[in-house]
Amino acid sequence: MNLRLDLAYHGKPFRGFARQPDVRTVQGDVEAALSKLFRSEVTTAAAGRTDAGVHAMGQVMSCAAPDDTDPIKVRDTLNAMLGPDIAVTRAERVEDDFHARFSARSRTYVYALLEGVVPDPFLADTTLWHAEPLDLDALGEASGHLLGPHDFSSFGRVPDPDASSERVLYELRAARDGRIVRIRARANAFIQQMVRSLVGTLVQVGEGKRSPDEIPGILAARDRSAAGPVAPPHGLCLVSVEYDGGWSRPV
């Protein structure tokens, strides 16, 4: 049977999502637990490969499982084995042609910043502290230039030099809730470090260090040095993945 797992995890203990030899990763921990549970080697697919330190609330994985597998027991057993750093929020049997990565229609990330002169130690692992308030109107104007299909070479990289850097950015917006500013980005897919590079550039706009009118030129340059810095990973979270028929979690 084809098994789908929806996951949440805290990124701090891991050297990223994708399995790597000799270091702890989310995929490595999950595959090791599944292999022990099913008593055979398990290989998984995932909707997105989050970087080291990046969190998730709505990551999706898929894998082959024995036909007599009880998804609820899989969920509960994995949570006993993987918690508290990783939580399986849902496990279910899906159609044979479902693939966590290739069946996905879009992914949504949220980057969280904490505004104010006083930091909050209880939010330090999941937000980027920013002492001064950001100009969200300027940030929103800049975001408008980035929507739609573009070559995002200035905002990230692809492992294969022959692969395309074009992606379709459906949504990019910022909202303030008390001291928290959340920058939300949804696209059909993202190249490596794209969201964090977008955030680093938008923060410069919100600080008044760049004009929103600079964004088209940054896109046209197709040069990573044209954009702002890569924002630290700990403020970023993969919140949901969209498939035909629904999302990995409510949005």
Q: Which residues are catalytic?
A: 51
Question: By the 8 A CB rule, do 242 and 107 touch?
Answer: yes
- The CA-CA-CA angle for residues 230, 161, 234, to 5°, reads 20
Question: Rounded CA gap, 42 and 31, in Å?
Answer: 6
Question: Rounded CA gap, 48 and 119, in Å?
Answer: 30
Closest to 240 measured CA to CA, from 60, 5, 56, 58: 58
Question: Rounded CA gap, 17 and 139, in Å?
Answer: 30
Q: Which residues lie across from 63 on neighbouring strands?
A: 3
**CA distances (Å), origin 140, targets 129, 131, 190, 235:** 20, 20, 20, 19
Question: By the 8 A CB rule, do 59 and 241 touch?
Answer: yes
